[in-house]
C-alpha cells in the first residue's frame, strides 16, 4: 500500500489513506484478508482494485453490506450498522430462541462477586459465550457494561455469573435489530461523555470507567472497563475516566487529521463531577490528587492549549452512565435512544 502512494495511519495501522492532487481521498481498511475501500475518488479506487488484483486473488463484493459479522444498511438518512444475524445464531447456539426477553441486559439490583460458595459451571462453555458477547459489543454499547462485568469472572465462573451472561442473551432476544445509525450531517465536532462508578466492584472495590465519544453528533466509540487501581475518592475515579476520555478524543482527532478533516473548535469533554472539573482547572496541589499527578498534568495541559473544554453535565444527562452501572429500564431506554441507537424492527 505504501508503494502505491498510500500513507499508513499512526493511529490505526490497519488504515491506509491516499490524497490525490485533485483533492480527492481514497481510504482502505484491512483486517487480515477482508478489505473495505471507500472515498470520493472513483478513478483512484479503480486503479487500486487493478493493482490489488495483480498482487492477490481478490473478489469484489460491491457496496458494503456485511463485514466480519457486522451488517451495514444504507439509506437517505445515513448508514445503519447492526449484528442481527450474529444475535440470531447466538440465540440458537444457547437454546434461547423461545425465551422470554429481558428488558435490560443486567439487573440493577444484583452486584456480582466471586461467589465462592456457588456451583461452578463449565469454564470453556462460559468463556466461549462471553467471547461471543464481547464481539457483539462492537455495535451494541447498550450491552457493554454488562459484558465487561461478566468477563471479569472468566477463570472461575459460577452459576450466578452464567445466569448474568444468559440475561444479556435474553435481552438481545427482545432487541435483535437494534444498532447504531450514523446520520448524514456536515458537522465534525468531537465530544465525549465520561463517568465512573466509584468503588463499584465488590471483589476489589475498584471503580469502573465509562466513556462514549461522538463525531458530528454520531456515536463512534465507547468503553466500559474496570480501572486498574483503587481510587480513594469519587473525584479521583472520575478524574481517571476524564483522562481516558481525553486520550480517546485525541486518538480520534489524529484519525481525522489523517483524512485531512480539521476542526478549530475545542473538543468537549462532559463530566458530571464538579470536584473533578475543579481539580482539572486548578493547578494547586491537593492532598487528594497526589495519586493522580500524571493524569492531572496531562488534562491541565490539554485544557490550557485550548484543545479540550470540560462543560458540566448533570448525572441525568450523562450518556456514559449506561457504561458504568446497571440502570432501571426507563433510564436505560432513555440513554439508549440518546446514543443514536435504533431498532429497525420497532413499530415506531
What pLDDT does 292 receive? 67
> Per-residue pLDDT tens for 214-241?
999 999 999 999 999 898 888 889 988 9
Dig out the grid coordinates for 175 from the structure.
432487541
Tell me, what DSSP letter sits at residue 287?
G
Return the pLDDT at 346. Answer: 62
Rounded average pLDDT over 118-124: 95
Q: Give the sign of the dihedral formed by CA 166, CA 171, CA 174, CA 175.
A: negative
Q: How far apart are the first and last CA of the chain?
A: 45
pTM: 0.92
Q: Name the one residue in this structure whose C-alpha cell is 487493478.
A: 50
Helix (H, G, I), strand (E, B) or coil at 229: coil
What's the rounded mean pLDDT across residues 163-188?
A: 94
Cβ atoms of residues 258 and 18 within 8 Å: no
Instruction: Place 143 in a pLDDT band, splitting at 50, 70 and 90.
Output: very high
- Alpha-carbon gap, residue 347 to 340, rounded angstroms: 17
Q: What is the mean pLDDT of the chain?
A: 91
With a cut of 50, say whether residue 75 has pLDDT above it.
Answer: yes
Sign for the pseudo-dihedral over CA of 335, 338, 339, 342: positive
In this structure, the strands spanning 25-31 and 15-19 are antiparallel
Q: What is the pLDDT of residue 72?
A: 95
H or E element in which residue 133 lies:
helix 123-136
Dihedral (CA of 26, 27, 31, 34) sign: negative
Q: What does the pLDDT look like over 251-276, one tens digit per residue?
A: 999 999 999 998 888 999 999 989 88
Band of pLDDT at residue 348, cut at 50, 70 and 90? very low
Amino acid at each position: 500500500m505504501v508503494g502505491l502512494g498510500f500513507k499508513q495511519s499512526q493511529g490505526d495501522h490497519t488504515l491506509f489513506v491516499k490524497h490525490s492532487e485533485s483533492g480527492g481521498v481514497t481510504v482502505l481498511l484491512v483486517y487480515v484478508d477482508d478489505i473495505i475501500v471507500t472515498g470520493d475518488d472513483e478513478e483512484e479506487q479503480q486503479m487500486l482494485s487493478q493493482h490489488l488484483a495483480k498482487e492477490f486473488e481478490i473478489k469484489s463484493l460491491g457496496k458494503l453490506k456485511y463485514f466480519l459479522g457486522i451488517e451495514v444498511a444504507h439509506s437517505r438518512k445515513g448508514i445503519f450498522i447492526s449484528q442481527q444475524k450474529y444475535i440470531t445464531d447466538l440465540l440458537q447456539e444457547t437454546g434461547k430462541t423461545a425465551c422470554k426477553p429481558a428488558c435490560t441486559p443486567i439487573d440493577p439490583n444484583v452486584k456480582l462477586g466471586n461467589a465462592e460458595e456457588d456451583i461452578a459451571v463449565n469454564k470453556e462453555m462460559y468463556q466461549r459465550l462471553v467471547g461471543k458477547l464481547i464481539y457483539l459489543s462492537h455495535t451494541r454499547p447498550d450491552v457493554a457494561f454488562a459484558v465487561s462485568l461478566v468477563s471479569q469472572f472468566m477463570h472461575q465462573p459460577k452459576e450466578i455469573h452464567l445466569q448474568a451472561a444468559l440475561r444479556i442473551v435474553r435481552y438481545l432476544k427482545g432487541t435483535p435489530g437494534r444498532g447504531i445509525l450514523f446520520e448524514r450531517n456536515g458537522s465534525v465536532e468531537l465530544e465525549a461523555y465520561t463517568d465512573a462508578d466509584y468503588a463499584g466492584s465488590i471483589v476489589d472495590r475498584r471503580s469502573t470507567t465509562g466513556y462514549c465519544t461522538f463525531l458530528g453528533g454520531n456515536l463512534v466509540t465507547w468503553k466500559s472497563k474496570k480501572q486498574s487501581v483503587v481510587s480513594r475518592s469519587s473525584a479521583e475515579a472520575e478524574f481517571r475516566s476524564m483522562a481516558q476520555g481525553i486520550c480517546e478524543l485525541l486518538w480520534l482527532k489524529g484519525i481525522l487529521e489523517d483524512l485531512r478533516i480539521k476542526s478549530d473548535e475545542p473538543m468537549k469533554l462532559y463530566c458530571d463531577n464538579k470536584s473533578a472539573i475543579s481539580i482539572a482547572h486548578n493547578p494547586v496541589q491537593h492532598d487528594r490528587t497526589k495519586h493522580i499527578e500524571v493524569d492531572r498534568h496531562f488534562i491541565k495541559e490539554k485544557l490550557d492549549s485550548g484543545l479540550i473544554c470540560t462543560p458540566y453535565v448533570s448525572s441525568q444527562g450523562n450518556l456514559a452512565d449506561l457504561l458504568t452501572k446497571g440502570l432501571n429500564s426507563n433510564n436505560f431506554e432513555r440513554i439508549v435512544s440518546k446514543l443514536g441507537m435504533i431498532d429497525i424492527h420497532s413499530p415506531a
